[in-house]
Amino acid sequence: MIYIDPPYNTGNKFIYNDKFTKSEWLNFMYPRLFLARQLLRDDGVIFVSIDDHEVHHLRMIMDEIFGEENFVNLITVKVRESAGESGGGEDKRLKKHADLLLMFAKNRQNYNLPKIYTRTSLEYLLALKESIGDKFVYSDVMIEMNGRQYKKTIKDGGGNDINIYTYESFITQNISKLAKQEKVSLYEIYQKYFDKVYTSYNARTSIRNRVKDAMPDFDGLIEIEYVPKSGKYKDKLTNKFFVGRTKRLIAWLKEVSELDNEVIMIKNEVGTLWTDISWATLASEGWIKFNDGKKPIEFIKRMLLIGNTKENDLVLDFFAGSGTTGHAVWDLNKEDGGNRKFILVQIDE
């Protein structure tokens, strides 16, 4: 993996030797990105931090060097709650709260994108939602499901079987009502009925549409059994549940969380919006004062995970700054027993 946090083009002269005149920033970046591609292993990835002023230029030259087909994502990273006093043109623009992170693979065919999750305590989440007068979306319990019966087999878009079953009866109960009945806290109810807690929603999926067409008048509980050819459960025998005349898809709490020693942790798959990494205590990280361009250790570690780095992999950063990339590699090695190596470069020499 390669990470680059280049100096953004603010009109100042760079400390790096630049012999080009046409476009200083582009000509500053181009040879470095060209070199980065040559250095990457065939299953490697590169991340480049950038602001909204230069992102279009950066995307253009990375498309040229790495190929448009190897673009993976443009990630938005929340870096501050408030931009403070207006300045630097902010009296004529919206306050800036985010930076961008551009991700390319050397060869997307050889890069395997892993599933990365953040984890939040359900107990904390419930308290947070209560403080703002909100409710957790997983708010019902499937108390009983009785009389499962096979009904028919239909086909998915690829001609594969979808077996449909119905239930003669089922009993559901609201979480809050259960807590009052059993005279315990909401969190204790979630612990007790962990495998049975659910929510339902009108999912926009072709499978749901096929179930609706196959059972248009059925107003109870449906279970289907099939083998998806893509997505989270690709090539695995999968069971899904639908409820009501509109066939609302049931989503189980256990599918998005973990129960470990009675502690429930909610898992959220990391996507293209990163708002959970703290930048507030950045100045004190690493015990070194570094005024400009410093990045959180957790920010770099997330890239290391998404980059699928492991064992003896090599990580390169040739705008090393305060050395956060090295710190992140060191920390991740301690956490998972890896032996990743890092190379940090600060100037050409």
Long-range contacts of 177-185, Cβ-Cβ distance < 8 Å, separation of 24 or more: 178/141
pLDDT tens per residue, the chain (349 residues)? 999 988 765 545 555 444 444 477 788 889 999 999 999 999 999 999 998 888 998 999 999 999 999 999 999 999 877 545 545 556 678 888 899 999 999 999 999 999 899 989 999 999 989 898 888 999 999 999 999 999 999 998 889 999 999 999 999 999 999 999 999 999 999 999 999 999 999 998 899 999 999 999 999 999 999 998 877 788 899 999 999 999 999 999 999 999 888 899 999 899 999 998 888 777 778 776 776 668 899 999 999 999 999 989 999 998 888 889 999 999 999 999 999 999 999 876 6
* Residue 140: predicted pLDDT: 96
147 CB-near residues (< 8 Å, 6+ apart): 167, 168, 169
Domain ranges of the chain: 2-116+270-344, 120-269
DSSP 95: P
* Residue 27: predicted pLDDT: 82
Does residue 290 contact residue 322 with C-beta atoms inside 8 Å? Answer: yes
> Containing H/E element for 28?
helix 24-39
341 CB-near residues (< 8 Å, 6+ apart): 312, 313, 314, 315, 329
* Residue 279: predicted pLDDT: 84
What is the SS3 assignment for 312-328?
CCEEEECCCCCCHHHHH
137 CB-near residues (< 8 Å, 6+ apart): 199
Does residue 28 contact residue 65 with C-beta atoms inside 8 Å? Answer: no
> Containing H/E element for 4?
strand 2-4
Token code pair at residue 326: 């090295």
Q: What angle do CA 267, 269, 271 make, to 5 degrees?
A: 150
* Residue 106: predicted pLDDT: 97
Token code pair at residue 78: 């929340």
pTM of the model: 0.77
Q: Which fold has domain 2-116+270-344?
A: Rossmann fold (3.40.50)
DSSP 99: E
* Residue 141: predicted pLDDT: 97
Strand order from edge to edge, sheet including 263-269? 117-121, 263-269, 257-260
Cα dihedral across residues 66, 73, 265, 257: positive or negative: negative
